[in-house]
Amino acid sequence: MNTFRIRRKELAIFNFITERIKEGRSQKHVILLLSLIVGVCTGLSAFVLKTIIEAIKHELTSNFLAEEINWLYLVYPAFGILVTMLFVKYIVRGDISHGVTKILYAMSRGRSRIKSHNRWSSVIASAITIGFGGSVGAEAPIVLTGSAWGSDLGKRFHLAPNNVMLLVGCGAAGAVSAIFKAPIAGLMFVLEVLMLELNMGSLLPLLVTSLTSVCVSYAIYGTDPQFDFSLSKEFTIDIIPGCGLLGICCGLVSLYFTRAMNWFEEIFGKITKKRYKFLLGATVLGVLIFFFPAMYGEGYDVINQLINDAPADEIMQGSLFYGNDSNLLIYLGLVLLFKVFATTATNGGGGCGGTFAPSLFLGCITGFIFSNLWDMSLGLHSQETFYLSPRNCGVYGMAGLMSGVMHAPLTGIFLIAELTGGYKLFVPLMIVSSIAYLTIVTFEPHSIYAYRLARRGQLLTHDKDKAILTLLNLSSLIENDYKRVEADMDLSRFTIIISKSHRNIFPVVDRGNKFIGVVSLDSVRNYMFRPEIYHKYTVGMFMKEPPAIVSINDPLNLVTKKFEDTNAWNLPVIDENGKYLGFISRSGMFQSYRQTLKDFSQD
């Protein structure tokens, strides 16, 4: 009976919102209501994810001794990946990896459809993976979860594509806000990484979701920043040169992280059988965590230790380096070098997680190592001119790596300020983040999330023209009401076809429908009214090659360039095998462009 009452209430809410949607005047209010619901759902999802991860990790590692090597590190990560693989294969029955890339792809297709199971599947899979030691972050899965909530609500209430896209962005903003207790960073993430177009109609729903989700986190965890951090040295003008060099280092480490991850992912991509992927991923991950326990899970414990001057043995606990403080920088340097392989092995082997936490983890290590080397090389001590505090530089490095890896300097600046409460460090955070971003874009134009889509020309960008062309679908622009003819057809039969057509262009195909050329009405006009010579001419005699040919896989920006280069009004479209599909017209493409632009920019 209680279940029946709950379902009746849900149906009543659904009907109420649906009725409001039908009223044009209430559309914006409905979006705000839905953005509020997305915020609550996302905040609770983040709580569930973090709780499961911490429970599994505590159960598995709470009895480990700091001074002893733990052989179970070789087993736990492999078991976690295996369970995740079985969960995905037999329960989810779909691909849930590369969460942020999936969101970018869904948005680039113009409908922002994300499968409903991602509301829960990404939470469970990533919790198992990370809890058992997977060297990845929970942020990308929870971002996918939040976006799935937004997409699902958009589908249920039959919203326009641009409003569904907005709710997907709201879900992503809410996810970042909830898991980090960082509402401004959540908003910046959507603008910089997901590249959602910002206008007055989209700003308020994003703010509502971010604030709602962070309030859920505040209610559960309290309002303190996620990391316990206090300044060891106030910002002074003399540290600017050191911050500038740190920014360059962060940019180069970001480049290494991006390139190494893409390279290692390609190796996994060449392996066709999943069991071999699992064996490679589990072996690499288990061995690396065995030698470097700091790589276990997200790595936030190590970040807290580095930014709070924890003893070296506490950072190196459970490793072969334990007991020798002088080995700390060597230990952290090796972690910096091999962390990317642990992260890639986790996902490549069948686990589920993101690169958010690894970016923060490596950024903190980069800043810590750099500051120690800087101070040692200059012979500096605490509070001296040009001295760089390792604690502060760990915070700077987190912002720098995030800016470089994700190509999101504003997200890096605001996230680290909100994570640590270090608002007095805005100037050095801005210096390091900006220089790190400028360094990596010199070598790598796309973020680690956008790299895969950019190679296929499916990336939504801040360039309005390119964004609209990305949202358009070539298949929907094909006009297939052109009468096909064959090259050996005589003029008498061709004249009959002309009389039944309202087009003045005719595609020429062979018997297998393979495209050969085109014939225009103008080319046969002088012969059409002379029946006595019909038998002397065939279609092939009038056939010409088109000024350009469009492939069904061509991105729309390339199609536009073909129109501009040839000055043509109609171009034929073929499939991968050269078979004729239809024509695409300049006027039809322009009309679709204008309509999409209107929908895309609508408040």
Residue 87: what residue type?
F
Place of tokens 């190196």: 316
Q: Answer for the pair 233, 383: CB distance below 8 angstroms, yes or no.
A: yes
pLDDT value for 392: 92
421: left (phi over 0), alpha (psi -120 to 50) or beta: left
How many CB atoms are closer than 10 A to CB 148?
30
CA gap 174, 209 in Å, rounded: 5
pLDDT value for 603: 43
pLDDT value for 465: 55
Instruction: Of 419, 506, 471, 407, give the one whose Cα is nearest residue 179.
Output: 419
CA gap 121, 91 in Å, rounded: 9
Reduce the secondary structure of 543-597 to three states and give it as a string: CECCCCCEECCCCHHHHHHHHHHHCCCEEEEECCCCEEEEEEEHHHHHHHHHHHH
pLDDT value for 105: 65
pLDDT value for 598: 60
pLDDT value for 438: 96
For residue 499, what are the CA distances in angstroms to 495, 510, 572?
6, 22, 22
At 517 the three-state DSSP class reads strand
Phi and psi at residue 7, to the nearest 5° = -65, -35
Token duo for residue 319: 């490793």
Q: Answer for the pair 73, 293: CB distance below 8 angstroms, yes or no.
A: yes
Instruction: Of 134, 119, 50, give the one whose Cα is nearest residue 347.
Output: 134
Write the class of the CATH domain 466-601.
Answer: alpha beta
Superfamily covering domain 237-270+291-335+353-461: Clc chloride channel (1.10.3080.10)
Helices (H), 231-297: 240-270, 274-291
Assigned CATH for 27-221: 1.10.3080.10
This prediction has a pTM of 0.77
Helices and strands counted in the chain (H then E)? 26, 5
Q: Answer for the pair 343, 260: CB distance below 8 angstroms, yes or no.
A: no
CA gap 196, 191 in Å, rounded: 5
For residue 280, what are the CA distances in angstroms to 178, 256, 344, 345?
34, 21, 11, 7
Q: Answer for the pair 318, 66: CB distance below 8 angstroms, yes or no.
A: yes
Cβ neighbours for 326, distance < 8 A, ≥ 6 positions apart:
none
Mean per-residue pLDDT pooled into runs of 10, the chain (603 residues): 49 56 61 92 94 93 85 93 92 74 64 77 92 91 90 84 84 92 90 72 88 94 86 86 96 95 91 92 95 93 92 90 90 96 93 90 96 91 86 94 92 91 86 96 83 58 55 77 88 86 89 90 82 81 90 82 88 90 86 65 48
- By the 10 Å C-beta count (0-12 exposed, 13-18 middle, 19+ buried), 40 is classed as middle
Phi and psi at residue 364, to the nearest 5° = -65, -40
Return the bridge partners of 570, or none.
585
DSSP 289-313: HHH-GGGSTT-HHHHHHHTTT--HH
CA dihedral defined by 373, 378, 383, 386, rounded to 10 degrees? Answer: -100
Q: In what order do the strands lie in the sheet containing 550-551?
A: 550-551, 570-574, 580-585
Q: Where in the chain is the domain with CATH 1.10.3080.10?
A: 27-221, 237-270+291-335+353-461
